[in-house]
Amino acid sequence: MYSPEEELITIVKNAAVDMTASLPCEKIKTLLEMVEERFFHVPLTREEEGVGICAGAALGGRRSAMFVQSSGIGNMVNALLSLMQFYELPLAVFVSQRGIYKEKIAAQFPMGQRLPAILNGAGIPFSVISSPADLIVVAQKLPEVYADSRVHAFLLNPAIWEGSPAQRARQLDQRPIACMIPEQRREVSPPACSRYEIIETIAPYLSGKAVVSNLGWPSKELHAIKHQESNFYMLGSMGMASPIGLGMSISSGKDVVVIDGDGSLLMNPGVLATAAHLAPDNLTILAIDNSSYGSTGSQETLTGSCVDLELVARGFGIGNTLKTSTKEQLTEAMRSGSKGLKFIHALAVPGNRDVPNIPIDHITIKNQVLSFLTT
């Protein structure tokens, strides 16, 4: 018996999509269950995080598709423009369009009804899929997304699924709840190094690895200290360093190191939960915490008053965490050859080193990292 959900999944598989990521939507709950079963799947904590993970996966040679509802586009626009479109990385976004058909939640109307205008204004191409017959449009346009390295949104009207025989009641797995109680705040001596000195210290341990560097001064400092073609220098999209690194790590056998910052991690802390869930054994997240937004004028972040990023990481389920404040502690942490997801909370003093801008264009950066990860 015909099922529009099965037809869409067949179309997606025929386009050689090999990774999906999603957040829930009641209107496509059956489709999401089937997507989770049929693909390597990443459950997300926030839509923007998913864009970063899919960007990293694209750099690792994967073809990704996201499944979200229309409200989620509001959380994705900047990353879609400043990351996916800027670096010319492909992503298909399947959007359950709320607020347009038999909608019972009034708060869904504003975003759902304005979504086409928002996408038009952002310059994001889209197709409106109003009925099962329109799924042919997906079959025609989806291969072009990956062939041309573009972003495309497919707006799915809830009427598509009406009367589908695929509707079912999912039985949730009864799994024991793993509860990790974070230890008390780990006390270390006050920070003795700047971010520049921290990058200098870890530089010998970055050779031959993919490195994702936070935007602004961290990327410029990394380029001045340890340029290699496997470095992905972020030029925008604050908060996306760890998601990109996570996407790389689940798409490549290469070791991946993320040089993230406290301000950036506070924007998307949920990525630590996603990383703990996926548990790649080739990812190290180095959170350089100088309690300031170093690239925007050194305004203080909340790690200076109330947030311990190591405890945050442990609370999200990352078991292998370390805190450092000296070069010796950092060297010992980086020297550890143990496999598994690792989170290093490196305390630092505020300040930027006066170094030149990165003299490499963004497409060259993308192509060099893509070549490293896929060969």
| C-alpha dist (Å) from residue 48 to 127, 182, 242, 261, 264 | 21, 27, 12, 17, 13
- pLDDT digit string, tens, across residues 19-48: 999 999 999 999 999 999 999 999 999 999
Q: Tell me, yes or no, whether 8 and 132 share the same domain.
A: yes
The answer to whether residue 106 sits within a structural domain is yes
C-alpha–C-alpha distance, residues 287 and 261, integer Å: 5
Query: Token pair for residue 342?
Result: 């690792």
Q: Tell me, yes or no, whether 210 and 142 share the same domain.
A: no
Query: Which one is predicted more confidently, 200 or 183?
Result: 200
Per the CB < 8 A criterion, the answer to whether 43 and 274 are in contact is yes
For residue 150, give its domain range: 4-161
Q: How far is the first Cα of the chain from the last one, in angstroms, to the nearest whole number? A: 43
Q: pLDDT grade, residue 212 (50/70/90)?
A: very high
C-alpha–C-alpha distance, residues 282 and 204, integer Å: 17
pLDDT value at 183 more than 80:
no
Residues in the chain: 375
Please give the pLDDT value at position 182.
60
The answer to whether residue 55 sits within a structural domain is yes
pLDDT value at 174 more than 80:
no
- State the average pLDDT over residues 294-300: 78
Q: Tell me, yes or no, whether 112 and 247 share the same domain.
A: no
Q: Tell me, yes or no, whether 229 and 331 share the same domain.
A: yes
The answer to whether residue 68 sits within a structural domain is yes
Q: What mean pLDDT value characterizes the chain?
A: 94
Q: For the chain, what is the radius of gyration of the CA atoms?
A: 21
SS3 of residue 101 by DSSP: coil
Single residue among 102, 135, 161 that ends a domain in this structure: 161
- State the average pLDDT over residues 306-334: 96
Instruction: Specify the CATH number for the domain of residue 318.
Output: 3.40.50.970
Q: pLDDT grade, residue 336 (50/70/90)?
A: confident
Q: pLDDT grade, residue 13 (50/70/90)?
A: very high
| C-alpha dist (Å) from residue 266 to 11, 309, 367 | 37, 9, 29
Please give the pLDDT value at position 177.
58
Place of tokens 């009034």: 106
C-alpha–C-alpha distance, residues 342 and 258, integer Å: 10
Please give the pLDDT value at position 293.
85
| C-alpha dist (Å) from residue 65 to 84, 204, 229, 256, 291 | 13, 36, 27, 22, 35
**Total number of domains in the chain:** 2
Q: Of 217, 220, 271, nearest to 247 (Cα)?
A: 271
The answer to whether residue 173 sits within a structural domain is no
Q: Tell me, yes or no, whether 292 and 339 share the same domain.
A: yes
Q: Tell me, yes or no, whether 119 and 264 share the same domain.
A: no
pLDDT value at 168 more than 80:
no
pLDDT value at 167 more than 80:
no
E-strand stretches of 166-291: 210-213, 231-233, 256-261, 283-289
Q: pLDDT grade, residue 176 (50/70/90)?
A: low
Q: Tell me, yes or no, whether 349 and 208 share the same domain.
A: yes
* Pairing mode of beta strands 126-129, 91-96: unpaired
Amino acid at position 150, single letter: R
pLDDT value at 179 more than 70:
no
C-alpha–C-alpha distance, residues 55 and 76, integer Å: 13
Please give the pLDDT value at position 239.
94
- State the average pLDDT over residues 80-95: 98
Q: pLDDT grade, residue 296 (50/70/90)?
A: confident
Q: Tell me, yes or no, whether 222 and 321 share the same domain.
A: yes
Q: Tell me, yes or no, whether 142 and 63 share the same domain.
A: yes
